[in-house]
Amino acid sequence: MSRLRLNSVLLCLAIFLLSACGKAPLHHQESFVFGTRVEILIAGQEEARARPAASAVLREFDRLHSTYHAWQPSELSELNTDLADGKSHAVSSELAGLLGDAQRRSMQGDGLFDPGIGRLIQAWGFQSSDFKAVLPEPGAIKEWLRNRAGIADLQIDGQRISSRSRNVAIDLGGYLKGYALDRAAAILHEHGAANALINIGGNVMALGSKNGKAWTVGIQHPRQPGPLATLKLRDGEAIGTSGDYQRYFEVDGKRYCHLLDPRSGEPVMHTQALTVLISPRPAAGTLSDMASKPLFIAGERWPEMAGKLGVHQALRIDAQGRIEVSSGLRERLEFIGSPLNLREITLPSPK
């Protein structure tokens, strides 16, 4: 017996909107982009200035979504078509930059984060807005592993992209929301909006404060409605969560999530959720999106992977519901109730 649950709308992080003090303005706009709900909140700015700033961000999200869609007609899908035909392809300077950055980050993460495994994602049925509870054809994953290819096979010569393997297919689904956070922050600053919260389906970045108070977000419990804990974000911090409860299907009572291990070709089973908190730095949003994937896939070795990626604060919930959290993050979390099976982990401090 099979059961399907598509839950891409459910946020990895639930935003708790505390009542604004007095009459201090708080502007809120939302949309549905990247297959999820997105929100822009701007504090301390009059409506006449806040609305166009938020609207500019949402337009940018729409542009990124349509330009870099992996399986609908887009600049990215055109690249994938030519790579499959063994051809090189000229791309925009932005896409060339994204591919080069993603390739470098993939190498840092020992290839566990790999935007070049689009064919594997397709084999599992996750390159769809309405995927079904159906396992891949027998032998399909073994065939992919025999001809395994990834973003490391890309050859980037300026804006011309080629590949050593025709089996490379780029899917930026684990990267683009983070890049969009960084773009949103830049746009808001250009519009003079210094205090804002940007939420893209649980990938969140905080700018400034909410009328003098810290922006507060909740970390979603992977198996219960509502949050596991709340966290006050500081100016410039970004947070990202990968979870097996967002996009998954079940067959015979077994959960198959969209987070795939490139080494085995199979969905990860040992982790329910992995959250990273990224300190203020250039491209903090991009790192918050990308870094949660290799840490999720690494399982028990996530502290080692965190060190490689320069991540100093993280929380993991394993398949049995046990919680591991870095000491620095534990000090800042307000858990809802008293969590059982919680263990603190010491990660390397920032240099």
250-271: pLDDT as tens digits: 999 999 999 999 999 999 999 9
Both tokens assigned to 180? 């969009």
Domains of the chain: 1-351 (3.10.520.10)
Q: Which residue in this structure is represented by tokens 């911090």?
A: 237
List helix spans (H) across 38-190.
47-67, 75-84, 93-108, 118-123, 140-146, 176-190
Q: What is the pLDDT of residues 71-113, one digit of tens each?
A: 999 999 999 999 999 999 999 999 999 999 999 999 999 999 9
Res 33 pLDDT > 50: yes
pLDDT band at 338; cut points 50, 70, 90: confident
* 23 — pLDDT class (breaks 50, 70, 90): low
Residue 293, amino acid: K
**If you average pLDDT over residues 150-178, what whole number do you get?**
97
Rounded Cα–Cα distance for residues 257 and 297 (Å)? 12
Round to whole Å and give the CA distance between 228 and 333.
Answer: 10
Residue 127 is classified by DSSP as: S
For 309-334, the pLDDT digits (tens) are 999 999 999 999 999 999 999 999 99
Distance CA 61, CA 124 (A): 27
CA 49, 52, 55, 60 torsion: positive or negative?
Answer: negative
Which is more confident, 42 or 23? 42
Portion of the chain with pLDDT greater than 70, in percent: 92
Query: Could you say which DSSP state residue 350 is in?
Result: P
Query: Which residue matches tokens 């983070």?
Result: 178
> What pLDDT is recorded for position 351?
58
Identify which has the larger pLDDT, 347 or 166.
Answer: 166
The confidence band for 19, taking pLDDT boundaries of 50, 70 and 90, is very low
- Taking Cα atoms as reference points, which of 289, 317, 309 lies closest to residue 325? 317
Q: CB atoms < 10 A from the CB of 31, how many?
A: 17
